[in-house]
Amino acid sequence: MSTFGQKYRVTTFGESHSKAVGCVIDGFPSNFKIDQDALQYQLNRRRPGQTKLTTQRDEKDKAIIISGLNTQHLTLGSPIMIMVYNEDMRPQDYKQFDDIPRPGHADFTYQMKYEIRAESGGGRSSARETIGRVCGGAIAQQYLSQMNVSISAWVSSVGNIEIPKEVQQQLILNPPTQDQIEEVNAKYQFRNPHQESALEMVKLIEQVKLDKDSIGGTVTCVIKGCPIGLGEPCFDKFQAVLAHAIMSIPATKGFEFGSGFEGTKQRGSAHNDRFKNLKPITNNAGGTLGGITNGENIYFKVAFKPVSTIGLEQETSNFKGEDIILEAHGRHDPCVVSRAVPVVESMAAIVVLDLYLLSKQK
Amino acid sequence: MSTFGQKYRVTTFGESHSKAVGCVIDGFPSNFKIDQDALQYQLNRRRPGQTKLTTQRDEKDKAIIISGLNTQHLTLGSPIMIMVYNEDMRPQDYKQFDDIPRPGHADFTYQMKYEIRAESGGGRSSARETIGRVCGGAIAQQYLSQMNVSISAWVSSVGNIEIPKEVQQQLILNPPTQDQIEEVNAKYQFRNPHQESALEMVKLIEQVKLDKDSIGGTVTCVIKGCPIGLGEPCFDKFQAVLAHAIMSIPATKGFEFGSGFEGTKQRGSAHNDRFKNLKPITNNAGGTLGGITNGENIYFKVAFKPVSTIGLEQETSNFKGEDIILEAHGRHDPCVVSRAVPVVESMAAIVVLDLYLLSKQK
Amino acid sequence: MSTFGQKYRVTTFGESHSKAVGCVIDGFPSNFKIDQDALQYQLNRRRPGQTKLTTQRDEKDKAIIISGLNTQHLTLGSPIMIMVYNEDMRPQDYKQFDDIPRPGHADFTYQMKYEIRAESGGGRSSARETIGRVCGGAIAQQYLSQMNVSISAWVSSVGNIEIPKEVQQQLILNPPTQDQIEEVNAKYQFRNPHQESALEMVKLIEQVKLDKDSIGGTVTCVIKGCPIGLGEPCFDKFQAVLAHAIMSIPATKGFEFGSGFEGTKQRGSAHNDRFKNLKPITNNAGGTLGGITNGENIYFKVAFKPVSTIGLEQETSNFKGEDIILEAHGRHDPCVVSRAVPVVESMAAIVVLDLYLLSKQK
Amino acid sequence: MSTFGQKYRVTTFGESHSKAVGCVIDGFPSNFKIDQDALQYQLNRRRPGQTKLTTQRDEKDKAIIISGLNTQHLTLGSPIMIMVYNEDMRPQDYKQFDDIPRPGHADFTYQMKYEIRAESGGGRSSARETIGRVCGGAIAQQYLSQMNVSISAWVSSVGNIEIPKEVQQQLILNPPTQDQIEEVNAKYQFRNPHQESALEMVKLIEQVKLDKDSIGGTVTCVIKGCPIGLGEPCFDKFQAVLAHAIMSIPATKGFEFGSGFEGTKQRGSAHNDRFKNLKPITNNAGGTLGGITNGENIYFKVAFKPVSTIGLEQETSNFKGEDIILEAHGRHDPCVVSRAVPVVESMAAIVVLDLYLLSKQK
């Protein structure tokens, strides 16, 4: 289904070429002032076409709040519907794919499951679907903000280029704010607060773009100030619900929580976060114990595959099974990780607010 | 909540020292013959205490099917309740922890969230909770089996010791059956079908045990024969629901689907699985496109942290915040990955059957 | 929450004075041609202001399908968002109520629950919320129609005036189609196919209107052609889910299924529907056995209270607890039952399609 | 599905002849002392065979709490599993029905839906399924009790015999406690606090029993002390969720909330509950406004059809469609309303606790 969350529920709608995309948010607390500018700020961060590195599609992506607020922008406790018109549609860019299941794309499986596909482009699998997620996350972040919960993410690797380990550890301990990351982004056109590796990443992506190819990367995210007690003991452990949310973002291939795969190489005596004054002195756990938040910084890393749409010719087959050569015209992003940053933050925000609202019981 | 799934729903109950643990399975198709031996076989696989490597607790873990079947063991379409008595309880082993939040354990967060904890041991966070999961997974596997869907997992690494990359790739292409893995297990006391690395892993774990310490590892799982079309485009992508299920298993720290974190280093031209005769010639995707199964083998890897309970002394604090030295007496596993194999398979089976039943619409 | 259904899910949004009202429909089968005119037809039936009996507010209520269809109006399997702009807003009509919890209205409870209310009118409790329901029901009915399931409802009583018992029984056996009811409506300005009682009802309502008062009534609904097997044995019996849906319609006070309250006076020997050739010869059950549809006509009756907004002066108190006299200016309906007919049908259609889609399992 | 509730979730399991019946309760607040006697008291109230009026089956129905409590009977926040063994099974009583879909029973629809039925008796449709409901309701009532919410129900009619209207109105205003009703029950063997009509009802039922027939009736229930603010504006109005719960009880045919069907005959000027000092001076609404509780007594009435199992011969057909004569041997209840009282109270309690826990948000 197209709904995420149990008490803070976000239902997204829209395809790449429908009249609009957006979401209905249900369960947001009442009598809270919504900041429309802060919402638009998040949509602008998500928007492609801002830098020379990313796709040139100029989507203005103006959020229109249709329902749920009174005239003073106070929430009424009723569903908040937000939508963004699809303005810059170029169906002709997709005509060539009518008969071809693009490698790495959803064309093949959508056709098999639904016996129909959107005539042009990804339809529901388009990155524009993430607009609804960012709206839901932006509204959640406004509420979390006044609880002093802050969420920020950055690009931690592109291809083989990584932020140095010690720098990354420092960033996890003391994460930059979203605003600080945007300052960096304004400078290097990239959301990596470590200048040296950022410049290398940008250089690599430019090369990949010249090669008409694409490249993957990782995003690291930290949630600071999360209340103790979110998550449930069994199936709805904090990290399990978070993994669900994060692995639902298009192009994700992996999720690490706390020490992650590196942690498997450690011994228990080193990995255990011992308490001092009832506070853990290390944070290999990543902010939960037994699936429930413990008040420490929550951190996780997400793997994004290289974008499937590339300019290079690809030998593949059409729906009839005939060999063909596919060459994508039109725009494409050589790397989505920088742009994925606000989407990752948004899904994290949705999870935190949902589990927070669920945790209230007395 | 303690329920997983939408149409095939598994609700687990029980703490380490309650009268019993088990599950209620709702939504299983009617008029299907349940094989009680096959159910018990899975519980036996999960059971610790079988080898010199694992904990010595002798839990007989006999599954009792309380409801949902007629006298011929045919399912009635009503909830199937299965329970296993907790027989070998040693509360005295846990007395020492009454006042101490054990590092890496759920003691601290449970106490904060619930203002109470089970008097002895992990309570709900105990590994015995996975009995309900294995029951739910065992029943699901019986149904999947007659659809020719098979699921099998193995240990792919312990600490720094890994199955060699090419061997691992071959195993993913042609996974051993569960029975084949059990044959291996009978021989090396370990669920790794690659003899050389298996022996090294066993040696490492023996050393860790001597050191009164613990070590982490990874499990790789392959789902073969999964129908095309499972999973939903947006939040309930196949891999997102699977990540939720897998990251809810105790001690997990990471989840990789298909090419995983390695895939982030590739270029799109290499990563894209091109079609030949409408069938992908590679499988970096891991068995889904756009979040929907494409008929290829589904594979994923799971990170397990080193077990938190260790025999070594640990400096930590008690609930009053006072410095203390903690030394766990009694039994403990130095490494859980081999024993986690049937739990991983079970959660995968629950997800596949649930999404399969959900996918029926006309 | 604002969502109804498990597999066919309708999420409504919008308040009486927000930019728009509408719904997101999730789970509708793909590759099905949507008839926009048939959708608009249902919205027109719901629309007030068509007759001299009802409110004069001229809401054009044009449905705009924002997402979920391709250019040929075929469903894509993705969420269908439909919205209707709120055009004819007269906030000044509601200014007088700013400080007064109107008797029978939601003002008091909304204020207590949410600590805020929409500045004007009912907000979320307005009858305009039913637009989303009718959109969801209209789309469901298009699918049910090609399965030969038809749903129709009519006014069975207003105040003390009822359709004669034998006539009512005949109508339940051979229900008029929606089109036939609309023909009647065109003639008498009322949705009661029994001319004599219809004219009396209209006369009564005219009198009530002159008296600046309001009056209640009942609606009877029949579902014809419903497949056998819908509904679940325990909590989700067909009639239980239906009761939930129907009792969520504003102003409802009662729900009878099959023989209803009259059935409590019968003896089992008379009430039991005996089989002849494995088909029940009577239908006191109302179309289900054990909560599961048995293929017979499903029928139920709904009680609607008299509308709370009346022109007559009412002694009541304001939010400060001070005695005041309330006199509602502006438009109001003296009786909503005729207008409620398509809303009842819509909720029934949503339930049938949802339980139908849920019943698919192999 | 076999689960009711969103935050207080009750999942029932068991058929009439499975090893046990019972439920898993999830979401109950932690650190609350469970009174096992109070739980057993409710099961005893539900138990048939106590009076000369009801079935003679001697089910001891001892509740066993399997999980969720510590040794001091304090809840741990984990699922509470409660079960009751099926001891007094007489499959021979049901042999005769193997080939016959009993009129009024679920045999026909279960066979059609599931292609299988329990070999003996009602299976999942048996009244024993209500044991799980009563367990869930009994636990809920313990929590509600300390919030000063009390729930009590009584028989308001049997066949044509009703509690006089004015008496009934007084009972709704000042409902007897459950204990008071049990005192009455001890005296007249019937749960109707109005002596005169109670004796008549008992007499009628005795006659019906002599006639080997059965008779229906109604139960009225009052919830006192319910907090303001429970229920949601749209689909999950308090009365809608309650109707769902109540209409899921076997043999129910109707549900009235507040003024019910009688209210449809009133004018708005009479029906509106005007405020005095911000408190309604009447209670036609029945305790909610706009679907949200307003702090007044909540009251509703439930219709129960005559029991389907009767001793009288019935002409009907078998599954092959052949004419046969059916005569039920063995025990049967001529009227279930008195015994249904604790089941109605239980479902009401489950709804109130669930909506209460859901309403917490800040």
SS (H, E, C) chain B: CCEECCCCEEEEECCCCCCEEEEEEECCCCCCECCHHHHHHHHHHHCCCCCCCCCCCCCCCCCEECCCECCCCEECCCCEEEEEECCCCCHHHHHHHCCCCCCCCCHHHHHHHHCCCCCCCCHHHCHHHHHHHHHHHHHHHHHHHHCCCEEEEEEEEECCEECCHHHHHHHHHCCCCHHHHHHHHHHHCCCCCCHHHHHHHHHHHHHHHHCCCCECEEEEEEEECCCCCCCCCCCCCHHHHHHHHHHCCCCEEEEEECCHHHHCCCEHHHHCCCEECCEECCCCCCCEECCEECCCCEEEEEEECCCCCCCCCEEEECCCCCEEEECCCCCCCCCCHHHHHHHHHHHHHHHHHHHHHHHCCC
pLDDT band at residue B362 using 50, 70 and 90 as cut-offs? low
pLDDT of residue B60: 83
Nearest CA-CA partner of A141 in A177, A172, A193 = A177
Q: Report the Cα D282 to chain-centroid distance in Å.
A: 27
Query: Per residue in C161-203, pLDDT tens?
Result: 999 999 999 999 999 999 999 999 999 899 999 999 999 999 9
Q: Is the pLDDT of residue C91 over 60?
A: no
- DSSP for D12-61? EE--TTSSEEEEEEE-PPSS-B--HHHHHHHHHHH-SSSSTTS-------
Tell me what the mean pLDDT of segment D310-314 comes to. Answer: 94
Q: Which residues of C touch B233 (CB under 8 A)?
A: 77-78
B236 touches chain C (CB under 8 A): no
Query: Per residue in A40-53, pLDDT tens?
Result: 999 999 987 555 55
The more confidently predicted of residues B91 and C138 is: C138
Parallel, antiparallel, or unpaired: how do β-strands A64-65 and A20-26 relate? Answer: unpaired
Start-to-end C-alpha separation, chain C? 31
Task: Tell me the CA distances in angstroms from C252 to B28, C159, D134, one per residue in order.
Answer: 36, 14, 28
pLDDT of residue A173: 97
> What six digits make up the tokens of C295?
């293929």
pLDDT of residue D122: 79
Tell me what the mean pLDDT of segment C219-239 comes to. Answer: 97
Task: Tell me the CA distances in angstroms from A57 to A52, A128, C234, C265, one per residue in order.
Answer: 11, 11, 53, 71
- The answer to whether A109 touches B294, Cβ cutoff 8 Å, is yes
Half-sphere exposure of C126 (CA within 13 A, CB side): 28
pLDDT of residue D98: 78
Tell me what the mean pLDDT of segment C217-236 comes to. Answer: 97
Neighbouring subunits of A (3+ Cβ pairs under 8 A): B, C, D
**Tokens 């309570």 found at:** B123
- Separation of alpha carbons B206 and B208, rounded Å: 5
> Catalytic pick from D93, D105, D213, D271?
D105
- Separation of alpha carbons B173 and D171, rounded Å: 72
pLDDT of residue C1: 83
- Separation of alpha carbons A38 and B204, rounded Å: 53
- Separation of alpha carbons B24 and D139, rounded Å: 19
Say yes or no for a CB contact (<8 Å) between B319 and A160: no
Query: Per residue in D214-263, pLDDT tens?
Result: 999 999 999 999 999 999 999 999 999 999 999 999 999 999 999 999 99
pLDDT of residue C56: 46
* Residues whose CB is less than 8 angstroms from the CB of residue A132 and which lie 6 or more positions away in sequence, other chains included: A10, A11, A12, A13, A14, A21, A22, A23, A82
pLDDT of residue A35: 98
Query: Per residue in B222-245, pLDDT tens?
Result: 999 999 999 999 999 999 999 999
- The answer to whether C152 touches C228, Cβ cutoff 8 Å, is no
- The answer to whether B307 touches B335, Cβ cutoff 8 Å, is yes
Q: Is the pLDDT of residue C346 over 60?
A: yes
- DSSP for C178-223? HHHHHHHHHHHSSS-S-HHHHHHHHHHHHHHHHTT--B-EEEEEEE
Question: Among this protein's residues, is D333 annotated catalytic?
Answer: yes
Task: Tell me the CA distances in angstroms from C333 to C18, C204, C339, D271, one per residue in order.
Answer: 22, 13, 10, 15
Half-sphere exposure of B9 (CA within 13 A, CB side): 18
Parallel, antiparallel, or unpaired: how do β-strands B217-224 and B252-257 relate? Answer: unpaired
- Of the partner residues A66, A76, A117, the one whose CB lies closest to the CB of residue C123: A76
- Separation of alpha carbons C243 and A123, rounded Å: 37
Query: Per residue in B8-33, pLDDT tens?
Result: 999 999 999 899 999 999 999 999 99
- The answer to whether B139 touches B34, Cβ cutoff 8 Å, is yes
Query: Per residue in B169-197, pLDDT tens?
Result: 999 999 999 999 999 999 989 999 999 99
Nearest CA-CA partner of B261 in A169, A301, A105 = A301
Q: Hey, which residues 292-311 in chain A have their CB within 8 Å of chain D?
A: none
- Residue B297's φ and ψ, nearest 5 degrees, are -60, 135
- The answer to whether A74 touches A36, Cβ cutoff 8 Å, is no
Mean pLDDT of chain C: 93
- Separation of alpha carbons C35 and C139, rounded Å: 8
Structure ipTM: 0.96
The more confidently predicted of residues C331 and B304 is: B304
One-letter identity of residue A244: H
- Separation of alpha carbons B1 and A234, rounded Å: 7
Tell me what the mean pLDDT of segment A147-154 comes to. Answer: 98
pLDDT band at residue A276 using 50, 70 and 90 as cut-offs? very high
Tell me what the mean pLDDT of segment C272-279 comes to. Answer: 96
pLDDT of residue A56: 46
The more confidently predicted of residues D67 and D332 is: D67
Q: Is the pLDDT of residue C59 over 70?
A: no
Share of chain C above pLDDT 90, in %: 86
Query: Per residue in A206-252, pLDDT tens?
Result: 999 999 999 999 999 999 999 999 999 999 999 999 999 999 999 99
pLDDT of residue B332: 77
pLDDT of residue B1: 83
> Cα dihedral sign for D197, D203, D206, D212?
negative
pLDDT of residue A330: 66
CA-based nearest residue in chain A for residue B103: A274
- Separation of alpha carbons C358 and B1, rounded Å: 22
The per-type count for chain D, helices as H runs and strands as E runs, is 10, 16
> Cα dihedral sign for C356, C357, C360, D2?
negative
Tell me what the mean pLDDT of segment D319-341 comes to. Answer: 89
Say yes or no for a CB contact (<8 Å) between B233 and A303: no
Tell me what the mean pLDDT of segment B54-82 comes to. Answer: 86
- Separation of alpha carbons C206 and C285, rounded Å: 37
pLDDT band at residue B56 using 50, 70 and 90 as cut-offs? very low
DSSP H/E element including C301: strand C298-304
pLDDT band at residue B327 using 50, 70 and 90 as cut-offs? confident
DSSP H/E element including A162: strand A161-162
Q: Please, what are the domains in chain D? A: 3-359 (3.60.150.10)
Q: Is the pLDDT of residue A280 over 80?
A: yes
Instruction: Put residue C61 in one of left, alpha, beta given phi > 0 → left and psi -120 to 50 → alpha.
Output: left
- Separation of alpha carbons A77 and C265, rounded Å: 44
In DSSP terms, D218 is beta-bridged to: D157, D303
Q: How many residues does chain B have?
A: 362
pLDDT of residue D47: 86
Q: Hey, which residues 256-295 in chain B have their CB within 8 Å of chain C?
A: none
pLDDT band at residue C88 using 50, 70 and 90 as cut-offs? low
Mean pLDDT of chain B: 93
D36-46 vs D337-359: helix axis angle to the nearest 10? 140
D321 touches chain C (CB under 8 A): yes
Q: Is the pLDDT of residue B55 over 60?
A: no
> What six digits make up the tokens of B200?
């090294």
Cα pseudo-dihedral B114, B118, B119, B122, rounded to 10: -120
* Residues whose CB is less than 8 angstroms from the CB of residue D207 and which lie 6 or more positions away in sequence, other chains included: none
Nearest CA-CA partner of C241 in C73, C132, C321, C357 = C357
- Residue B95's φ and ψ, nearest 5 degrees, are -50, -45
Say yes or no for a CB contact (<8 Å) between D3 and B21: no
Nearest CA-CA partner of A103 in D170, D166, D162, B290 = B290
pLDDT band at residue A60 using 50, 70 and 90 as cut-offs? confident
Q: Three-state SS for C285?
A: coil
Tell me what the mean pLDDT of segment A29-44 comes to. Answer: 97
Q: Is the pLDDT of residue D96 over 80?
A: no
> What six digits make up the tokens of D314?
């019935």
B317 touches chain C (CB under 8 A): no
Based on the number of CB atoms within 10 Å of its own CB, is B164 exposed (0-12), middle (13-18) or buried (19 or more)? exposed
Mean pLDDT of chain D: 93
Tell me what the mean pLDDT of segment B100-114 comes to. Answer: 94
- Kindly report the number of other CB atoms within 10 A of residue B322's CB atom: 11
- The answer to whether D144 touches D352, Cβ cutoff 8 Å, is yes
> Catalytic pick from B93, B105, B213, B244?
B105
Neighbouring subunits of D (3+ Cβ pairs under 8 A): A, B, C
DSSP H/E element including A324: strand A323-326
pLDDT band at residue B130 using 50, 70 and 90 as cut-offs? very high
Q: Is the pLDDT of residue D130 over 80?
A: yes
Say yes or no for a CB contact (<8 Å) between C361 and B78: no
Cα B81–Cα C292–Cα D127 angle in degrees, nearest 5: 55
Select from B12, B16, B34, B70 the residue whose CB has the most chain D CBs within 10 Å, as the one to mutate to test that interface: B70
- Of the partner residues A259, A304, A359, the one whose CB lies closest to the CB of residue B264: A304
